[in-house]
Structure 1
Amino acid sequence: MSSDEPTAEESRPERRDDGLDLAKALTRASARSGGPARKKPRSGPRRATGSRVSGSHPDERDPQLLEATLSRLVGDYGWELDLRMQGVFGRWPELVGDEVAAHCTPESFAEGKLVVRTDSTAWATQLKLLAPTVVRRLNEQLGHGTVVLIEVIGPNLPTWKKGLRSARDGRGPRDTYG
C-alpha cells in the first residue's frame, strides 16, 4: 500500500452515536437495491392526482352516525314520502284538531289520495266540508301537491244482504208498512 491512498478507516465518514448515521446508511443501501416491495395503498381519501392517502380526516371506513346512515338508506329506497305520511298518521290530532281527530281517522294514502274514515255520517259530511282546509294543512307539512284528494268514508254500517227476509237483487230495507 502506498502512503498516498487513504486507509479503510480514513475513508469512512465520521461516526455518530445518535444512530442517524445507521439510518442514513440503511436508506442509501435500500435505495441502491431498489427498496422493499411496496404494497398497494388501502382505500381512503384520494388526492387530486388520484392516489390514496391516509390521514386524520374522516372517510368511508370510519364509524358513521346512525342519522346519516338511516338518511342514506331512506333515500336509496325512496321511503321519504312513506315516512312523512306515517308521521301525519301519528300526528293526526295535531294537524286536524282534537275534536275532528276524535271522530275521524286516516286509513290509507296512495297516489295523492288520503282515505279517512269517520264514525258517523254527520262527521263524514262535516269532514267533506273541511277537506280543502285539511288538504292545504297537510300539503304545508308534506310538500305542495302531495295530498290531492281526501276521500271520506262513513262508518261501517250493518248489511241487509243476508238474513231470513232478504231478497236477491232487492233494493234493501224500505218502508213496507203501508
Structure 2
Amino acid sequence: MNDDQAERSSGYEVARRALEQARAEAQAAGKQVGRGRSGPIRSGSTGGRDRKRRRWSGAGPDSRDPQTLGSLTGAVAQARGWSSKINEGTVFGSWAAVVGADIAAHAEPTSLTDGVLHVRAESTAWATQLRYMQSQILASIAAAVGHGVVKSLRITGPAAPSWRKGPLHVSGRGPRDTYG
C-alpha cells in the first residue's frame, strides 16, 4: 500500500469511527438512529418521504410551477384592490366586440359603478331598442368579461338642451310662455 492509499483508508476509517461514535451517543441519549437510503432515519419519521420536504414537483400542478403572466397580474390586482377598475376598463375596452359594431356605433358606456353599467344612446329610439335588448346585452357582457361584473344596465338617451343661458334666469318657461 502506498502513502495516498494509507491516508485515504485512514481518513475513511476516521470518518467511519466518528459516525459510529455519533450513533452510540444518540442511542445513549434515547434516540433511535438507523440507516436508510437517504441517510439516518429517526423513529417516528416517514422514512424520508415527508410530503412537505419533497424536492420535485411531480406530475400534478404545484405552487413552484411556472405561472402565466395573466394569473400573476390577476393575483396582484386582487391583492391591491384594483379589480373594479380593471373590470371597468375591460368592459369599456371590449364594448364593440361584446355588443357588436352596430350597437357600438350608436351607444357607448359612460360609467360602471357598483355593478350598474351606464350606457348613453345617441337617440331615444336607440335607447328604447337597447332597453328591449337589455338581457341579451347583459348575457354577452357576462360571457366576455365575467359574471357579476355588470349586474344591470342603465340606458339613457341624449341629454336635452338647456334653455338656461347665463347666471340670471326667469323661473318658468320665460319668453316661450306666449306660445300657448
Could you say which TM-score interval applies, normalised by the shorter chain?
0.5 to 0.7
Offset of residue 175 of structure 1: 6.1
Long gaps (5+) in structure 2: 26-48
**Residue 97 to residue 161, structure 1, CA distance change in 2 (3 Å):** same
Partner of 1:19: 8
Q: Distance in 2 between matches of 1:49 and 1:99?
A: 57
Q: CA deviation at 1:96?
A: 1.2
What is the aligned partner in structure 2 of residue 153 from structure 1?
Answer: 156
Q: TM-score, normalised by structure 2?
A: 0.58
Local SS of the residue matching 1:160? coil
CA root-mean-square deviation: 4.0
Contact 1:118/1:152 (<8 A) preserved = yes
| Corresponding residue to 1:28 among 10, 14, 17 | 17
* Percent pairwise identity: 36
State whether residues 135 and 149 of structure 1, in contact with CA within 8 Å, keep that contact through their aligned partners in structure 2: yes
Per the alignment, do residues 120 and 69 of structure 1 end up closer, same or farther by CA in structure 2, a change over 3 Å counting? same
Matched, 1:120 2:128: no
Greater helix content: 2
The match for 1:48 among 47, 50, 60 is: 50
TM-superposition CA deviations, 1:119-177 (whole Å, max 9, x none): 23332223222222212222333445543321112234432222498313x24784634
Structure 1 segment 1-178 matched on structure 2, within 5 A: 16=5, 19-26=8-15, 28-29=17-18, 32=21, 48=50, 55=55, 66-77=69-80, 79-80=82-83, 82-144=85-147, 146-163=149-166, 166-168=169-171, 170-171=172-173, 174=176, 176-177=178-179
Over 3 Å counting, the alpha-carbon distance change for 1:32 and 1:173 in structure 2 is: farther
How far 1:100 moved relative to its partner? Answer: 1.1
Larger Rg computed on CA atoms: 1
Structure with greater proportional strand content: 2
Deviation at 1:90, TM superposition (A): 1.0
Distance 2:169 2:163 in 1: 7
Q: Name structure 1 gaps, 5 residues minimum.
A: 1-14, 35-46
